[in-house]
Amino acid sequence: MVEKIERHIHLSLPDDEVWFIYQYIISSGVLVVENHSHSLLHAELLSDQARDITLRLVDRFSQLININLGIDTQLYEGLVVHIRPLINRLHYKIIIRNPLLDDIKNEIADVYQLTRIAVENIFITNAQQSVSDDEVGYLAVHFQAAIERQITHKRVLLVCSTGVGTSHLLKSRILRAFPDWEIVAAVPSDSLPSVSQQLAPDLVISTVHVPEIETPVVYVTAFLNDADLQRVTDKLITEKLHRACDAYAVTRS
């Protein structure tokens, strides 16, 4: 590339300039190309250090939110592609800007804070310089996507006043909003404890008050409006993240 530049400008580049260009190229993500196959990575371009940091970062974040993200191949591949040039940027003290940082801090604040905690834990042990907020913001987006993928496959038990009536409408609207979910049954409230114990659903969605059980319960209307969908998402994601942030804040104080 330098030879082409020199031919184009009819001048020789000093070694310092060549070294400067080299630092920026290996600190970018251009060396890894997505080819839309099942494996997005060229293994020879990824260092053992990048793989190790990625695995430990995923493991630490999983511990913080009490959800196993280690089986999410898409998360690993997305992170390791970012971690490799990130290591180089830290080494060469190259600063990048994240134009979405303010939006990330506002829209996925809990995930951002938990990502910051995980990054501090992992990179301190690697004797690296401090990872900037901009870098953390990019990593947080990967974790947010992984968390949202966690709710795409759920086994759900519906509870309505009779177990029939409005349950048909509720079922169709739930599957329209979450097409990969499995509705394991629709039951009246008095049958919930025994059926829940037998079927072990991931979530109970109910239009009526139900007895307290170990399985998470979300109360909705039969029409499953936008506010209801937000409550479902909050139960599966937001509350868990809030608890994780609060728990860590307690342990640090």
Interatomic CA distance for residues 204 and 185, integer angstroms:
10
Same domain, 123 and 163: no
Containing structural domain, residue 232: 155-249
CA-to-CA dists, residue 133 to 15, 105, 119, 219, angstroms: 32, 10, 10, 37
Question: Are the C-beta atoms of 206 and 174 separated by less than 8 Å?
Answer: no
pLDDT, tens digit (0-9, with 9 covering 90-100), for 173-206: 999 999 999 999 999 888 999 999 999 999 999 9
- Stated pTM of the model: 0.73
Q: In total, how many domains does the chain have?
A: 2
At 217 the three-state DSSP class reads strand
Same domain, 159 and 133: no
End-of-domain residue from the set 103, 131, 150:
150
| Residue-level pLDDT at 40 | 45
| Residue-level pLDDT at 101 | 96
Interatomic CA distance for residues 2 and 236, integer angstroms:
52
Which residues partner with 187 through β-bridges? 159
| Residue-level pLDDT at 46 | 58
Inside any domain, residue 197: yes
Strand positions, DSSP E, the chain: 155-160, 182-188, 203-206, 217-219
User: CB-hemisphere CA count at 13 Å for 7?
Assistant: 4
Inside any domain, residue 124: yes
Inside any domain, residue 1: no
Interatomic CA distance for residues 51 and 181, integer angstroms:
33
List of the chain residues with pLDDT < 70: 27, 29-46, 125-129, 162-165, 249-253
Question: Are the C-beta atoms of 207 and 161 separated by less than 8 Å?
Answer: yes
Place of tokens 């890894």: 32
Same domain, 197 and 230: yes
CATH code (residue 121): 1.10.1790.10
| Residue-level pLDDT at 37 | 47
Same domain, 135 and 160: no
Inside any domain, residue 20: no
Question: What does the DSSP assignment read for 125-183?
Answer: HTTPPPPPHHHHHHHHHHHHHHHHHHTSS-EEEEEESSSSHHHHHHHHHHHHHSTT-EE
| Residue-level pLDDT at 32 | 46
| Residue-level pLDDT at 20 | 82
What one-character DSSP code corresponds to residue 238? I
What one-character DSSP code corresponds to residue 214? S
Strand ranges across the sheet with 203-206: 182-188, 155-160, 203-206, 217-219
End-of-domain residue from the set 94, 115, 150:
150
